A = this chain, B = another copy of it.
């Protein structure tokens, strides 16, 4: 069944063979800087985990098998545990602490839109919750729904819907199935000379359907846009039937209802195919690191670039602490060590385009007091998907590590930056552990930016409660400073209370009215989002 089950480690991030271990120096740093004194709860072994018995009656398993065919339904422990929750730090801690309460009762692998329609009909009639499962990379509790009112829950693994259905080279559009992983989609498009240009940190494992259902944003969003901006049409299966939306690149035909399914996180329907813009695969890619004097100056120059151009394909800016911690090695940063702030700028296109854009950007970076840091750009590119691997090793060692992100208009960036840092520091000092809070500007727009925070401290006795308190404080601070509760991670269950506060009663009522219309039995990812 290997082709149908996530290749990710079921206990942590990514490919198991790439798991990291901590050097003695790093362990020393955890001890000295964060006050880490004891290992955290250990990674569980599969044979020690005994999920609750499946609540699906045999007759129902037979019905589901009748829809998808023999061998495509499983209620074995391993399959169920591999579809248990996502990859947030609370998800990983819950597993380490032996909490298997959210384990789905079965996993179903449909192969077509029609099979999904039929599964949703059956599960609606039987009141079985359905959790669409793509790459399994949610970091916001998007795969840990409640089951209020449902008799059980099945994970709907989309891994068999993994085809590039059509490539329209005139319109530069690809019709893609939702279970395609990022690298699979890129490999098939590359054979024809195209790319989606969508490279989030989860790229290696996340799926096309997940990109759309969570409004994913990639590291090259300055050049290629967000994934939701690339989706011009989609087909979804709902408990009440098929929805097909989108005939044109843009339209004035009423409200844009594609935008209801983008970001719907599996609560309104299952996206069974989508039409996305593709670009010519770039002949050249160049990523550079530049040191700018401080976070304020760096914020000013990334704002200037995105507002007045030339706009790089990749544009990111680490604050002083992230720069110092991640890049203090002299072999990267040169004589200046970790002082100032590291800015990453990247360009993709023809060699001429890359050269011209890079030169024009250099002038502006130098005006802002920037200096090139030769190795930082290639190092960033080489490690761009690797950061989450470190978390599992840090959790082993007794550190608590998590990330969170937001976006706001440029004029609010300074207050939001300070507000979230202070909230995290205060919440985690309260637990007796001085935290380290890092931040970078991860995505830029003409009117604002996304701030991405990483926080690390020593685990308290109850690390889950410790993190929940800190996350609540950070989320309160985000709302207080006028930021969005999420820029690209999504809502899931973790952001839901703040999402509802931010949205307001009337928009939430409107969204729930849509949900009732499309999913009257309330079986789709209950407790997520709405």
Complex interface: chain B residues within 8 A of A251 (CB): 215, 407, 484, 486-487
Give a binary string over A460-495; 1 marks a CB under 8 Å from any B CB, 0 the rest: 000000000000000000000011111111110001
CA distance A171 to B447 in the complex (A): 5
Measured between beta carbons, the chain B residues less than 8 angstroms from A215 are: 250-252, 256
Q: Which of A250-264 contact B (CB under 8 A)?
A: 250-257, 259-264
Among B232, B303, B408, B506, the residue within 8 A (CB) of A242 is B506
Q: Is the CB of B503 within 8 A of A254?
A: yes
Contact flags (1/0) for A157-169 with B, using CB distance below 8 Å? 0000000000010
Q: A259, B255: Cβ atoms under 8 Å?
A: yes
Contact A491 B253 (CB under 8 A): yes
Q: How far is the CB of A265 from chain B (nearest CB, A)?
A: 7
Q: Quick one: which of B253, B256, B482, B489 contacts A499, CB cutoff 8 A?
A: B253
In Å, the complex CA distance between A173 and B412 comes to 12
User: Are B248 and A409 neighbours in the complex by a CB distance under 8 Å?
Assistant: yes
- Contact residues in B for A238 (Cβ distance below 8 Å): 506
Known A486-B252, A510-B260: A277·B517 in contact at CB below 8 Å: no
Contact A518 B510 (CB under 8 A): yes
Query: In the bound complex, do residue B499 and residue A277 qualify as a contact, i.e. CB atoms below 8 Å apart?
Result: no
For the complex formed by this chain, how many copies does it contain in all?
2
Q: Which residues of B contact A69 (CB under 8 A)?
A: none
| Chain A 79-112 residues near chain B, CB threshold 8 A | none
List the B side residues contacting A240 at CB < 8 Å: 506, 509
B244, A171: Cβ atoms closer than 8 Å: no
Pairwise interchain contact A514-B510, C-beta atoms closer than 8 A: yes
Assembly CA distance A308 to B281 (angstroms): 11
Name the contact of A256 in the complex, choosing from B173, B241, B263 (C-beta under 8 A). Answer: B263
- Please state if A264 and B254 are interface contacts (CB–CB under 8 Å): yes
Cβ of A226 to closest chain B Cβ, rounded Å: 6
A422 CB within 8 Å of chain B = no
**How long is the Cα–Cα vector from A338 to B458 in the complex, in angstroms?**
77
Nearest Cβ on chain B to A482's Cβ, whole angstroms: 6
- By beta carbon, the residue of chain B nearest A308 is B280
Report yes or no: B248 in contact with A448, Cβ–Cβ below 8 A.
Answer: yes
**11 A-B residue pairings within 8 Å (CB atoms):** A170-B410, A170-B411, A232-B409, A244-B504, A245-B507, A248-B484, A249-B409, A252-B486, A253-B490, A253-B499, A257-B511
Top 8 closest A-B pairs, CB basis? A249-B445, A259-B259, A248-B407, A248-B484, A171-B409, A215-B252, A251-B484, A513-B513
